[in-house]
Structure 1
Amino acid sequence: MDAFINGLYTVFQALINAGAYVMLPIIITILGLIFRLSPGKAFKSGITITCGFVGINLLVNLLKSAVTPAASAMVENFGLNLDVTDVGWGAISSITWASPIVALLVFEILGLNILLLVLKKTTTMDVDIWNYHHMMIAGILVFFVTGNIVWALVATAFTAIMTFKFSDWTKPLVSHFFGIPDVSLPTISYTSSIIIAAPLNWLIDRIPGLRDVNFSIKNVQKYLGIFGDPMMLGFILGCAMGALALMPIDQIFLTGVNVAAVMVLMPKMTAMFVEGLMPISQAAQKFTSDKFGGQALSIGLDAAVVVGNPEVITTALIMIPITILLAFILPGNRMMPLADLAVVTFRVALVVALCRGNVFRSILISIPVMAAILYGGTFAAPYLTAYATSTGLTFDGLIASMAGPSLTQTAIVFWSCISQYAIVIVPVLFICFLGVWYLIEKKIGMDKIEAYAAKCDEQ
């Protein structure tokens, strides 16, 4: 059995090491062939989608390179010296894939996705395999803490099912707000925000006065003219961040230019991505209509395809100094935000879409979302540090990240499965989730969610 698991681990490690840029065109081409596209069209779609994805990631990295020095300087200027250091999602991903049970968990997630598709309990066909680490980290930490493989499988399965359903329920926002049809985003750093954001958005809708405040980039353009243009707004926000970081004048200007460039170029890369996706999407809808009785499947992709939205970037740039301030003032927080400050876009993207681009409301809701991440990181830090050390890494002090077990969804599952009352808490938690599932799909109905999202097209 050990030899079989080690063999699976070796195969999947080789695939993951190939990287998204190698895997994506292969996966998309295979999907195109399955959906009965000609080999030429399937391969062209795969390459076009990958080129768009490469462009998006280059721009995300440009944004990171612009924001990281400013964010680090702000942390220093705020005088933060907390004992849990944010080492970034990349470090968490690497130690996740280093687990001896990773191949088993990959097959579990893949098998669950196929089973739920066959049973028509999800419409998300998750091809974002290299981001499975988001769904595996809870199970891997549970296995490390408890040594119990059953609880590790339960934690991963629960996390995966939640992720697929959150992706299903938020798919209309991807289509109507971000303008990418037939795509869902099963990336936990994106979907996890819905746990806090949806109830708060519902509550704000019922508070007179507050519900009427609407600050969006389109409104800004109306009143500020050229200065409300996304490019100019990006330049202004970038310069403001550099100024808050007390950077030299040339670096302030450079930060502004880089953020402005991302605001201008990201929609063009997204358009290229959608161009490559359309033949696959059309073929998939025809195929699933024949084979799945009209069930419309969506392709599950990395949330990187939506984080370049102007409202998302605007909200993220405002939330970075607010997150640093939260770390300083929240009682009981020990996590110092640092490496992942540059990718706050992923944490707030779904919030912005849920708020239909209303930046004021997005910031209002993102504050508790980011506060929960800081507390999640504080709670998970001792376990995450011990596990990372067991893989051969060394750190000065405790580590965390704004990804992995810090995210609300993962933190809830992880805490539940390592609790001494796990045998009671986990079933109760799952029953509560089933209740939400029933409420959304049977009582509220996906047609109402679709109608809510469709109002983005009117704005």
Structure 2
Amino acid sequence: MGTLMNAVQTVLDMGPSVMLPIIIFIVGLIFRVKPGRALTSGITVGIGMIGINLVIDLLTTTVGPAAQAMVERFGLNLTVIDAGWPAISSITWAQPIAGLMIPIVLVVNLIMLGLKWTKTLNIDIWNYWHMAAAAATAYIITGNVIMGILAGIIYTVFCLIIADKTAYQVQEYYGLEGISFATGSAAGYAVFGIPAAWLISKIPGINKINVKPETIQKRFGVFGEPMIMGLIIGAFLAILGGYDITGILQTAMTMGGIMLLMPRMVKILMEGLTPIQEGAQKMLQGRYKGREIFLGMDAALATGSPAALSTGLLMVPITLFIAVILPGNRVLPFGDLATIPFFAALIVPGRKGNIVHSVLACTVAVTIGLYMATDFAPAITQMGEGIVEFPEGAAQISNLDTGGNILNWVFLKASELYNSVF
């Protein structure tokens, strides 16, 4: 087990910018893409991922301090700190069962593909940690390895089903041909967010509101440009944080840059994926008479959409506000605030980029997520003791990505039920 964990950690330490090119190259060869072209595709995808990660890091380092400034300015006092997905993923991989989940998730995916139970081949191995988190939760609570593995397998099945069901909307709205999102955080928030968005679209009056980046640009001209929208949202966050004029302008420019750069980084990544998609379609058409196959990718690709990114950024102050007024909530959102655009990845396409409907739907999903994250705090705190350093002033830790995710929370409750019965 120690050797396996060391091998897993070595691979994970390479990061997605190294892992993805290797995976894309191997998948390309499987789909009979010429080795030279498969290699070029892999490297291009890796470069695109480097660009995306640079912009995401910029987003995180901008939103994080702004959120912290809001917390301090408004004197928010909640005892469970949202430690963020990087800390929780580290906690996950430190659990004894986690290393087993990478091969298990991959085998389950391939079996489902072979049996035609899914169309998605999830090559986003970097995000297999979501499945491992479900397995680790069940294992830690029950002490039963089989229960842990079963939880990870069921979580995988849920993610693949949701990826399949939302694939056509993802492809049509984001322009990502042959792609689906099997990322656990996006899938979990879609469970409540998609039905909520549909119900919101039926409410008289609200159903007439149709605010999209395209309509904003058409009505307001240059002020509807994605980078100008970024400037406005960035300035809004900085003002709420109590920044001075220099800080407001710097934050505004950074957000404007993010809104302009992210779609271009996604475009580079997609250029690398195109030969692989073509190879997959050609092989499958010959062998399976036109059977479709989707490449499961990181929901971070959704941030190339101004609507998804705007929805996520607008949710930052809204999430903090909800956390303060929500009876029974003890979680102070912080670490995962910058990743809310990923939570919206599968919600925005169903509303065709309507920012108002998407924000309202995300508000419903995040509200429920805060209650689940509060309930999840003791388990995540137990898992993290001695592994990560707790934030100053935190009695417990939790997070929105994992603790506030229904796909994880159900396994927490199932594990607690198992203990009470057995």
* Secondary structure class of the residue paired with 2:303: coil
Question: 2:6 matched to 1:10?
Answer: yes
8 A Cα contact 1:52 1:269, kept in partner: yes
Partner of residue 54, structure 1:
50
Partner of residue 408, structure 1:
406
Question: 2:182 matched to 1:186?
Answer: yes
* Secondary structure class of the residue paired with 1:339: coil
Partner of residue 251, structure 1:
247
Q: Name the aligned partner's letter for residue 16 of structure 1.
A: L
Partner of residue 65, structure 1:
61
Identity %: 38
Partner of residue 297, structure 2:
301
* Secondary structure class of the residue paired with 2:346: helix
Q: Name the aligned partner's letter for residue 83 of structure 2.
A: V
Question: 2:137 matched to 1:147?
Answer: no
Structure-to-structure mapping, 1:163-174, within 5 angstroms: 163-174=159-170
Partner of residue 322, structure 1:
318
CA shift, 1:423, in A, is 7.6
Partner of residue 89, structure 2:
93
2 CA distance for matches of 1:179 and 1:312? 13
Q: 1:118 to 1:316 in 2, by over 3 A?
A: same
CA shift, 1:226, in A, is 1.2
Partner of residue 430, structure 1:
none
* Secondary structure class of the residue paired with 1:85: strand
8 A Cα contact 1:158 1:413, kept in partner: no
8 A Cα contact 2:137 2:411, kept in partner: no
Q: Name the aligned partner's letter for residue 404 of structure 2.
A: S
Q: 2:71 pairs with 65, 69, 75, which one?
A: 75
8 A Cα contact 1:138 1:413, kept in partner: yes
Q: Name the aligned partner's letter for residue 417 of structure 1.
A: S
Task: Deviation per CA, 1:250-288: give whole Å up to 9, x if none.
Answer: 110010001101111112111111111111100011112
8 A Cα contact 1:60 1:308, kept in partner: no
Moved more, 376-385 or 9-18: 9-18
CA shift, 1:392, in A, is 6.6
Q: Name the aligned partner's letter for residue 415 of structure 1.
A: K
* Secondary structure class of the residue paired with 2:121: strand
Partner of residue 274, structure 1:
270
TM-score norm. by structure 2 comes to 0.95
CA shift, 1:422, in A, is 8.2
CA shift, 1:160, in A, is 0.7
8 A Cα contact 2:142 2:418, kept in partner: no
Partner of residue 427, structure 1:
none
8 A Cα contact 2:263 2:303, kept in partner: no
Where does the alignment leave 5 or more consecutive residues of structure 1 unmatched?
Answer: 425-459
8 A Cα contact 2:377 2:396, kept in partner: yes
Task: Deviation per CA, 1:266-316: give whole Å up to 9, x if none.
Answer: 121111111111111000111122333432111111111112311112112
1 CA distance for matches of 2:361 and 2:197? 7
Task: Deviation per CA, 1:115-156: give whole Å up to 9, x if none.
Answer: 101001011111111211111112101111110112112211
CA shift, 1:8, in A, is 2.5
Partner of residue 334, structure 1:
330
Moved more, 5-14 or 189-198: 5-14
Partner of residue 366, structure 2:
370
Question: 2:120 matched to 1:119?
Answer: no
Q: Name the aligned partner's letter for residue 230 of structure 2.
A: G
2 CA distance for matches of 1:390 and 1:155? 24
Structure-to-structure mapping, 1:22-61, within 5 angstroms: 22-61=18-57
8 A Cα contact 2:390 2:397, kept in partner: no
8 A Cα contact 1:53 1:305, kept in partner: no
CA shift, 1:106, in A, is 2.0
Q: 2:383 pairs with 387, 397, 403, which one?
A: 387
Q: Name the aligned partner's letter for residue 215 of structure 2.
A: N
Structure-to-structure mapping, 1:210-249, within 5 angstroms: 210-249=206-245
Partner of residue 107, structure 1:
103
CA shift, 1:236, in A, is 1.1
CA shift, 1:384, in A, is 0.7
Task: Deviation per CA, 1:196-250: give whole Å up to 9, x if none.
Answer: 1222233234333322211111111122111111111111111111111110111
Partner of residue 452, structure 1:
none
Where does the alignment leave 5 or more consecutive residues of structure 2 unmatched?
Answer: none
Q: Name the aligned partner's letter for residue 412 of structure 1.
A: V
Q: Name the aligned partner's letter for residue 410 of structure 1.
A: N
Task: Tell me the matched-pair count.
Answer: 420
